[in-house]
Chain A
Amino acid sequence: MADINITEKELHAPQGGDGHGHGHDDHHHGDKYQSSFIDRYLFSMDHKTIAKQFLITGMFWAVIGAAMSVIFRLQLGFPDADLSWLQPLLGGWIDVDPASGKGTLSPDFYYALVTMHGTIIVFFVLTAGLSGTFSNLLIPLQIGARDMASPLMNMLSYWFFFLAGVIMFISLFLNTGPFSGGWVAYPPLSALPQASDGSKAGMTLWLLALVFFVVSTLLGGINYISTILNMRTKGMTMFRMPLTIWAFLLTAVLGLLSFPVVTSGFFMLMMDRMLGTSFFLDEIYVAGEALTDRVGGNAILYQHLFWFLGHPEVYIIVLPAMGLVSEVLSVHARKPIFGYKAMVFSILGIGVLSFLVWAHHMYVSGLNPFISNIFVLFTLIIAVPSAVKVFNWIATVWGGNMRYNSASLFSIGFVSLFISGGLTGIFLGNATIDMQQHDTYFVVAHFHTVMGVAAFFGMFSGIYHWFPTMFGRYMNETLGQIHYWGTLITAYAVFGPMHYQGMAGIPRRYYSFDTFQAFNQFDTMNQVITIAAIIAFFLQILFIINFFYSIYRGRKQTEQNPWGGTTLEWTVPINPGHGNWDGPIPEVHRWPYDISRYEDREFVMQNEPLAEGEVDGGH
């Protein structure tokens, strides 16, 4: 019964005198789960602490994932360079030529790096680290709840994520290396341990980690949905919810409907690996020998199961970023979000359509062309709600009174990246064009721009904006802007040229191109990309230094509502305790975007009653 304690206690507790709870002892700060260090920081059930746990764990993984990309970029940009200096870190993965002493990255390890980079960034950083952080932080604060529906499940969600991480981390140190067959884990590489080194124990641990990861996502997601639907404060109707909350809601719904499907594929993979079934195997030759007892399966079936998650997954990643950006842009442009309802319906539209487009990842898998056409149609339709959102962000900023700071700049950068990457999606969405572009660097450029970098920008924007909510301090603004401009330029420098490489036919996931004469012309381009990637990496280190420095030494937050926000998280005290509000939970009377709508007031917060005869803004 622990999980509903706070609300129940609150219900029966005497009302504090002035309603703001200054000075009288209050009952939710010292709730019984926060008595010792361990309860407070490790096994905390406070959604704000869990949010920070997700964030910091996500940052840990981001560093690892990014460092991996730097190493494989070295190989791509400077294939002839001597990498023996990496040997102390990577050991046997650097092949050292005994004669010349020159070290090169082993091809197997290159594939392992690419695979782990994708898995880590997609799942651990941009799913858990992004949605886990901000859903946890903002859902209770913005809808007016003391905590999640089930703080216990919430805590478990974090610890399952942690466990998944530990397992994946262990797999990095296996003798045979981590899984190396790509983040999508297609069979047969994933289904046959004898197929490659990475397919051995590395893949077993990969599957185990991902199953725990799914458990974590489901526990978290169920909680988010349940909290949003059932625990909103009085007056917080669905159409008064900030767009962040709408985005988190749909993110969780997408996860709930799609993660179980990929899990079924994972179980079938496990059986193929361990019990000798052949769900995904047919006519396989390993080292020239036919596997005559593994017949009758269908590898394409796995692709369907994977992409039924995989496409919603990309929206699971980008929707929370979209929610954060909507909020940050409106607050810093000092304008209501343009087209609130259109935004909500685009989120819903994206949610529905994202289940109808998965086979656009499979146009070259031998799909019936008629079926392909249906997927082309839906894929192009999903561009519509995406475009509506872009239009509304631009209209929000247009003519606004923009405050250019790290938070708002990263949001603007998000919009830029989302446009650039979305446009290439429309090319890829056409099966006829995709036949040419599939599995080239064009796809790599597309999804890093639209999802990878864009979602990171949304996340950065959120971190700069809500840092005071998390830590009661601000991050350093100068470092923040260096981080922004540097990352924007280097990100475009890395992924812009990849479009050309892709159009020229350079395949993705290749260790080396030295046997392809035609690609020699891109040597310099590859070097430029690698250098930009290294600079980008160090800019993120700068961000991390700023982050941790600011937690302890940043400028202290003195105003409760520094940005002039209208939503409820700015009504809690600085450094709020477990339970968030000292007094009663505020009631909501209006939509969340009453900024610059009144002659005499710059903004009006959601908990302020409507004036006589006034109509609520959202309607």
Chain B
Amino acid sequence: MSTLNKTVKRIHPKKFALWMGIVGMIMFFSAFTSAYIVRKASANWYNFPLPNEFFYSTIAILGSSLAFYLSKKAYLRADAKTFKGLYFLGFLLGFAFIGLQYAGWESLQAVGIDLVANQSSSFLYLITAAHVLHVMGGVVALVVLAVGLIRGRFDVPTPKRTLKIDLTFTYWHFVDILWLYLLVFFLIQQ
């Protein structure tokens, strides 16, 4: 057996793949924000304040990450009730984030800052929409997990279940941090 033991991965291949995927996504968003900086350096660029909804949505997504973080602790204690409660809290906050981003776009449009108003607004919509698409990917993973949760499949921790939870939450924390980065980026650029 000793021959084979070594082929057991040091880090689970799925986790590793997820991290690699995250590296790719970081490159994707870096490209957008670099393009933003380059374009902003030339003329005809209008500054406008970010809609308030973007700040509320920040609170929502930070809250959702926190809820998931705590829910995982509860899961590891085999405290199924707290786990589920916190999980659905996080889940709702995740949805709230998407809704608030949408509301943010609406209120921008209401004051005439639409997609084609100026390069600055085109970039804002582009980048925030690309981010929301990534969040939706996370929501799909959350729904899959929630189905198992409702059926009571996560009441007692096992390595396989922990892996599923870890993968989903790691991705979620990533889109959360990504949003923080984007928000700070927009604020600095104003």
**B117 CB to nearest chain A CB (Å):** 10
**A225, A297, A584, A586: which contacts B20 (Cβ < 8 A)?**
A225
**B9, B10, B17, B38: which contacts A298 (Cβ < 8 A)?**
B38
- Are the CB atoms of B21 and A233 closer together than 8 Å? no
Question: Across the interface, which residues of B come within 8 angstroms of A278, CB to CB?
Answer: 116, 119, 122
**B10, B29, B30, B122: which contacts A277 (Cβ < 8 A)?**
B122
- Are the CB atoms of A229 and B16 closer together than 8 Å? yes
Question: Across the interface, which residues of B come within 8 angstroms of A515, CB to CB?
Answer: none
- Are the CB atoms of B11 and A230 closer together than 8 Å? yes
**A3, A218, A265, A585: which contacts B31 (Cβ < 8 A)?**
A265
Chain A 220-264 interface 0/1 with B at a Cβ cutoff of 8 Å (1 = within)? 011101110111111100000000000000000000111111011
Q: Does A149 contact B (CB under 8 A)?
A: yes
Give the dominant DSSP class at A's interface.
helix
By size class, the interface of chain A is 35 or more
- Are the CB atoms of B116 and A301 closer together than 8 Å? no
| Interface positions of B from 1 to 25, Cβ below 8 Å from A | 1-11, 13-14, 16-17, 20-21, 23-25
**B129 CB to nearest chain A CB (Å):** 9
**A259 CB to nearest chain B CB (Å):** 7
**A15, A256, A293: which contacts B23 (Cβ < 8 A)?**
A256
- Are the CB atoms of A264 and B7 closer together than 8 Å? no
Question: Across the interface, which residues of A come within 8 angstroms of B35, CB to CB?
Answer: 264, 268, 279, 301, 304-305
Question: Across the interface, which residues of A come within 8 angstroms of B6, CB to CB?
Answer: 232-235
Q: Does B118 contact A (CB under 8 A)?
A: yes
**A15 CB to nearest chain B CB (Å):** 7
**A149, A259, A264, A296: which contacts B44 (Cβ < 8 A)?**
A296
Q: Does B169 contact A (CB under 8 A)?
A: no
**A11, A15, A230, A275: which contacts B16 (Cβ < 8 A)?**
A230
Residue of B nearest to A255 (CB): B24
Residue of A nearest to B118 (CB): A296
CA of A301 to CA of B41, assembled, Å = 12
Contact A149/B7 with A257-B23, A276-B115, A298-B39 known, Cβ cut-off 8 Å = no
CA of A278 to CA of B115, assembled, Å = 10
- Are the CB atoms of A226 and B24 closer together than 8 Å? no
CA of A571 to CA of B169, assembled, Å = 42
**A10, A226, A231, A584: which contacts B17 (Cβ < 8 A)?**
A226
19 CB < 8 A contacts A-B: A1-B160, A11-B7, A11-B8, A150-B14, A222-B21, A222-B24, A223-B17, A231-B7, A234-B3, A258-B27, A265-B31, A268-B126, A275-B116, A277-B126, A278-B119, A293-B116, A305-B35, A585-B3, A586-B3
A235-B6, A264-B130, A305-B35 are known; give 17 further A-B pairs, CB within 8 A: A7-B7, A7-B8, A10-B4, A150-B14, A221-B20, A230-B9, A230-B16, A231-B9, A232-B7, A234-B5, A234-B7, A259-B24, A261-B27, A265-B31, A276-B115, A278-B119, A296-B118
